[in-house]
Amino acid sequence: MADGLNDKVALVTGGGSGIGRAVVEAFVGEGAKVGVLELSPEKTEELEALGPNVKAVRGDATSLEDNEKALSETVDTFGRLDALVCCVGLWDNQAKLKRIPKEKLREAFQEIFAVNVESYVLATKVCADALIDSGGCIVYTLSNSSFYPDGGGPLYMASKFAVRGLLVEMAYELAPKVRVNGVAPGGTATEIRGLKSLDQDEPMLASPKMKEGLKAINPLQLEIEPEDHVGAYLYLANGELSRSVTGVVINSDGGIGSRGMTKIAGLL
């Protein structure tokens, strides 16, 4: 991996905390320069403190103009764009259909689809030409909820399956110039926000009880941390290592797809 990201330039959306923040730090550690589009002013300030190889841009990934601003500030600062990495996301705190009041359904649907799906489309649209010019790549953040039920409620599940559809289409549309792949994390202790429209004010995933629960459901029996996923992003962004790879998803979820029917893992 030594020279793979050296002097490459990436734009990470939602890089202010959790998985995106771990990706930003790992990319910088591998020699990349990284622009970051981040909604939170506090997290944007913390990103600035990472030094001259990070250009933090405060803005909303659901806005076309803010995506354009993030691209232009990244290219003005670092001269080019080689990779777009989308990490923005909201969860639905497992709101099952029965529990969502029908008068809130439309607003909740629009809130989660704007962040989890539309922002990925907008970032792709805005960055496509620069990536075609550089022969670059895109890495989307999917989820175990892009494959298997019960990782959220219907709103999160539908949004994460939609990103998988976007990935397959963009891998086709942008070939042969741009590789488009994804990473599908499993339950990871982060402060991921729930939906304002459903009054989900408290982040749910990082509580000790939830961490224990997330460990219990994966065959590798791991308490998965954001850093556990960065190898997959580094690999997919590194054209020396993955130049023949496009349209695929790396599942980084402790083996949820290998759960047994009678017990979770063979050795348990």
Q: Is 233 an annotated catalytic residue?
A: no
* Interface with ligand NAD, residue 251, by CB under 6 A: no
The one segment of 54-62, 75-83, 92-100, 259-267 that binds ligand NAD by CB under 6 A: 54-62
Residues from 78 through 97 that contact ligand NAD (CB under 6 A): 87-89
- Distance, in Å, from the CA atom of 108 to the CA atom of 83, rounded to the nearest integer, reads 31
* Interface with ligand NAD, residue 18, by CB under 6 A: yes
When binding is defined by CB under 6 A, the residue of 44, 93, 181, 188 that contacts ligand NAD is: 188
Catalytic residue among 120, 140, 156, 233: 156
Nearest to 26 by CA among 44, 10, 43: 10
* Inter-residue contact 61 to 37 (CB < 8 Å): yes
The one segment of 13-21, 45-53, 128-136, 260-268 that binds ligand NAD by CB under 6 A: 13-21
Alpha helix locations (H) across 30-118?
A: 41-48, 64-78, 105-113
Question: Whole-number minimum distance, CB 199 to ligand NAD, in Å?
Answer: 17
Nearest to 230 by CA among 3, 12, 8: 12
Binding mask 108-147 for ligand NAD (x = CB under 6 A): -------x-------------------------x-x----
Burial of 19 (0-12, 13-18, 19+ CB in 10 A): buried
Question: Whole-number minimum distance, CB 13 to ligand NAD, in Å?
Answer: 6
- Distance, in Å, from the CA atom of 264 to the CA atom of 268, rounded to the nearest integer, reads 7
3-state secondary structure at position 256: helix
When binding is defined by CB under 6 A, the residue of 8, 33, 43, 179 that contacts ligand NAD is: 43
- Distance, in Å, from the CA atom of 185 to the CA atom of 189, rounded to the nearest integer, reads 11
CA dihedral of residues 91, 96, 100, 105 (deg, nearest 10): 60
The one segment of 45-53, 100-108, 126-134, 187-195 that binds ligand NAD by CB under 6 A: 187-195
The one segment of 46-54, 60-68, 105-113, 164-172 that binds ligand NAD by CB under 6 A: 60-68
Q: Give the phi and the psi of residue 261 in degrees, each rounded to 5.
A: -85, -35
3-state helix, strand, coil in the chain (%, to 5): 45, 15, 40
Question: Whole-number minimum distance, CB 81 to ligand NAD, in Å?
Answer: 18
* Interface with ligand NAD, residue 38, by CB under 6 A: yes
The residues of the shown chain that bind ligand NAD, judged by CB under 6 A, are: 14, 16-20, 37-40, 43, 60-62, 87-89, 115, 141, 143, 185, 187-188, 190-193, 205, 226
User: Which residues participate in catalysis according to the annotation?
Assistant: 156
